[in-house]
Structure 1
Amino acid sequence: MRTVTITGTRRTGHKTPAEYADLFEHYLGPFAHGAHFYLGGAAGIDSLALLWLAERTGADITIVAPGTMDQQPAEAQEAVARSRARIKEVVELGAAELQAPAYHARNRWMVDRTLMTVGFPHATEPSTGTWQTIDYTAERGKPRLIVPV
């Protein structure tokens, strides 16, 4: 089974939902058949990609939270609730503090369990969790597809 980590910016207001749907169709769609996607359960790309995958594909979906889902932003909790029937698993890593180390640990956890990463970084954010995840994927010698948004 093809396993894919999805990572991306939380800042998504500069594009329309239709533009994101088009990006996901082109850059997630080709991997979706028979795939299992791992998403961080955050606002932004995580929530948008979750909703698109749940509505438009039959792919397996795992949501990974650094702490618990109750600690995630309202937008992310709503996307998970709307997609619950399509989500195979929700993993709560139980971090005591939701600081950068907890998010980086979550990202490494996903990359360690998947074969590739598709990253959607915001074009003006050179140093973020998205890039940390993409770089960690590269360090592991795994393929990564980078789609600036």
Structure 2
Amino acid sequence: MRAVAITGTRATEHRPRCDYGALFVTYLAPFADGHFYLGGARGIDSLALAWLAENTDARLTVVVPGTAAQQPAEACRAIALAGRRIGDIVELGAAELGRAAYHARNRWMVDHASLTIGFPHSIVPSTGTWQTLDYTAEQGKPRLVVPV
């Protein structure tokens, strides 16, 4: 089974919500027979989780740096709505939810996936999305970049 890590911007308000559905039809649906690892944050993580849960039979795993209860309200709602569609919630148990914890979560997802699909909003290479995409390349794994 193919495993795909999803990474992306938390800033999604600059586009209508329906635009993301169209992007997911084009870039996630072709992999819907596989397993998706999602970060459980607001923005792309929550939007992709909701879309995948509603529109596919893919196996879904949500990965969080600390606990699921520590996630932002938008992410908690997306996790609750996806409910039984989520196969696993992986809580990495970070003591502090800082930059290092989020990077560790992203690396964990890439390490368990065979492909990463990234939805960056910025071309700034220091964002978490780009760091995850670069880590994917360093691991010799393919990455698909879908600018939003």
**TM-score tier (shorter):** over 0.9
Q: Give secondary structure in 2 for the equivalent of 1:46.
A: helix
Identity %: 66
| Paired position in structure 2 for 1:63 | 62
Q: Deviations over 1:13-61 (max 9, x none)?
A: 011111000000000011112x000000000000000000000000000
CA RMSD of aligned residues (A): 0.8
Post-superposition Cα deviations, 1:87-140, rounded to whole Å, max 9, x if no partner, equal 000000000000110000000000000101000000354421101100000000
Distance, in Å, in 1 between the alignment partners of 2:84 and 2:13 is 27
Corresponding residue of 1:11:
11
| Structure 2 counterparts to residues 86-101 of structure 1, below 5 A | 86-101=85-100
Q: What letter is aligned with 1:130?
A: T
TM-score normalized with structure 1 length: 0.97
The residue that corresponds to 1:28 in the other structure is 28
Letter of the 1:3 partner, please give it. A
Where structure 2 has 5 or more consecutive residues not aligned to the other structure, the ranges are none
After superposing on structure 2, the runs of 4+ consecutive aligned residues of structure 1 that deviate more than 4 Å are: none
Aligned length, in residue pairs: 148
Measure how far apart 1:70 and its partner are.
1.1
Gaps of at least 5 residues in structure 1 are: none
Match of 2:137 in 1: 138
User: Partners of 2:49 and 2:64 in 1: how far apart?
Assistant: 13
